[in-house]
Chain A
């Protein structure tokens, strides 16, 4: 296989740096680093799989590739809602794992400068907090930057295999 030259990889990372995809779940606006995002699709028919944690809704067929989908609402212990035509699946790839994140609504791609990114307040009271890596300030608004690795890993994989 032809290898991508080092510089062009560098280039890709550079152009992606500081860019975030923002989306909403409930009232909150979240952001994830663009480098994790593979694509964004509308909601798909989901095949339920038994024995999975509640927030893993099942599997979908992404052009022949089968990937699991996670309902971010349930993951953050928010009230589940019916999916509608604004519901989106953000397909991300983290550490060779492809997974779809079901979110209420995808809004835009933003640049957030390093100086505008601050560590999250140490609140430690809500489930979603442990998945927040940082807080991004955009004008007067605040975006919660997600820690993708934690979101999909963080004992959950183990939890899943334990059930099986």
Chain B
């Protein structure tokens, strides 16, 4: 697909690999690995910014750039090759010459810009579009940086690498008298590259059994020109050895990419055999292969596996709870089915755990945002992580990235004050943003906390009022409710618009994304102390523990995590508001609205008498509500399925689940139910 749209030969006219290979998985792996490498490099560069030097991690940095270059060259992505090549030059220089004056902050800027370019290119590769961005600008920038670096530090001679080894002084050379005198002219295969080194290697091998008298061209190591000479004229070498011509031939042809050898005898031949190195290896051919301990798997395969496990759980219930079994004494059946349930549970857990990924990579990305914005806005901001190893379902992570970016941006922009302002307030000059993740029951909490100036309650309130967003009388609003207005579309309290935030778009993305994965957002803030935003999301989307409730003939599932308690109501605790036709109930001094499910879902219940049915108290975000149903039907783990696309979204329903009987139950969306009322 994409490969064919690019030039299929590299500069030397060599067919590139992508042409011949199964390129689809190769491309996938290339994209995956290159992204990984880019983010590794970005993290190293950012983490060392404080120290103002790459330090010993230079080797790591060099290796990463080198690897990116190598892989890109194989796929013939030339822009990536030339960019990473320039970067490699810079890091090579730093590694080899250890210049004293390195403008690290400029280096970081240049590297980060390069990485952005690379990310764009890899993205384009991933979606199959053409790579037509102009790499020359950024390459030139890098080269300028490098020449500046070289100038400022004087042109030091590279540290001595073992380029100067002298054949004559090679002490491995055995004493060879050399009865026979040979002249060999050697041609290498076209395009095998680095012919000078090949020639040198050849000579090096020969020296073990021969005395080299002369060779041409000379100076093959230092003089790059010799490559061309060897390509066109071949490499000529004369030597003396005790070996016979056949053995010499064999010895010389023990080299790769030899196109042609012309071997001439200059002195008479004497047949003498000498033992040559010979190879001998095991020849059994069984199938044990030693594999790597890590593999990467396409997420869609995991989705399929997950679906299948879901089906398995349903089928298991269909078998075990089959109505035909009722009333039968089935001791060993029951025992076996308990075993089966245990195994299926374990499979389920294992599959879930495969899909879990730590949040650290998502957190790490925030470094870059904090740095870029801090620099732009002249703010000094430190970023701290707590619990970044906490794991979340892969699908959820994808929904988390954007909200976190917006929250962190917002914290730097609106939360953290300028160093001067902070100093005046008696705070430390540098502000701090903390990203924290932790497990709380079936949920993961992600907390973004800053120690900035806090939200301006009055300002938000006035603005909300002006935009007509207030749904309750002002004095009934809690602080949290007021703060949560910042997540409404079009709400921005900043006076002027800037590059990062304040366009009024963004913060509503937070709410939208988080709600999509069944999570909630909560804001706490106090003036001059800071703002804390807590995101609560489920560990996984696919399987929930549910409580089955019956209303008439319909069964609904309520996620266990949102159920606080359930009980039989007493008429005396119910308060009726005839004017609003609403009912409420006192629970331990608190007034709770009652939602009759049969009315909400418009189904025929067994009873409308509150004392005869059951009250289920559900909670979300510290808001509480009483649901009224006919009866509880017990707990069950259910696999969440989306409603068919044709039906779109239904209020108060988050999806559906296939029960053991094969029937479908609707899963209630408690947070929405609470919002509706």
Contact = CB atoms under 8 A, between A and B. Distances in A.
Contacts of A161: 648-649
A66 B664 contact: yes
Contact of A164 (B641, B645, B646, B650): B650
A68 B644 contact: yes
B449 to A, nearest CB: 36
Contacts, number: 68
Interface stretch (A30-38, A46-54, A120-128, A134-142): A46-54
A50 B601 contact: yes
A61 B600 contact: no
Contact of A64 (B311, B645, B653): B311
B663 interface: yes
Contacts of B554: 47-48
A160 B651 CA distance: 12
Interface string B79-106: 0000000000000000000000000000
Interface string A134-164: 0000000000000000001000010011001
A113 B647 CA distance: 36
Given A47-B656, A50-B653, A157 B666 contact: no
Given A48-B603, A50-B652, A50-B653, A61 B662 contact: yes
B645 A59 contact: no
A66 B650 contact: no
Given A47-B663, A50-B601, A61-B658, A66 B643 contact: yes
Q: Main secondary structure on chain B at its contact with chain A?
A: mixed
Interface string B643-677: 11111111111001010001111100000000000
B581 interface: no
A151 to B, nearest CB: 12
Interface string B499-537: 000000000000000000000000000000000000000
Interface residues of A, number: 23
B651 A66 contact: no
A157 B648 contact: yes
A51 B662 contact: no
Nearest to A70: B646
Contacts of B601: 48, 50
B602 interface: yes
A59 B643 contact: yes
B600 A50 contact: yes
A99 interface: yes
A50 B643 CA distance: 12
Nearest to B601: A50
A50 B647 contact: no
Interface of A: 45, 47-52, 56, 59-61, 64, 66-68, 97-99, 152, 157, 160-161, 164
Interface of B: 311, 314, 554, 600-603, 641, 643-653, 656, 658, 662-666
23 contacts: A45-B663, A47-B656, A47-B664, A47-B666, A50-B650, A51-B650, A51-B651, A52-B650, A59-B643, A59-B644, A60-B664, A66-B643, A66-B658, A66-B664, A97-B644, A99-B646, A152-B646, A157-B646, A157-B648, A160-B647, A161-B648, A161-B649, A164-B651
Given A59-B656, A152-B646, 11 more contacts: A47-B656, A50-B602, A50-B651, A51-B650, A61-B662, A66-B658, A97-B646, A160-B646, A160-B648, A161-B649, A164-B650
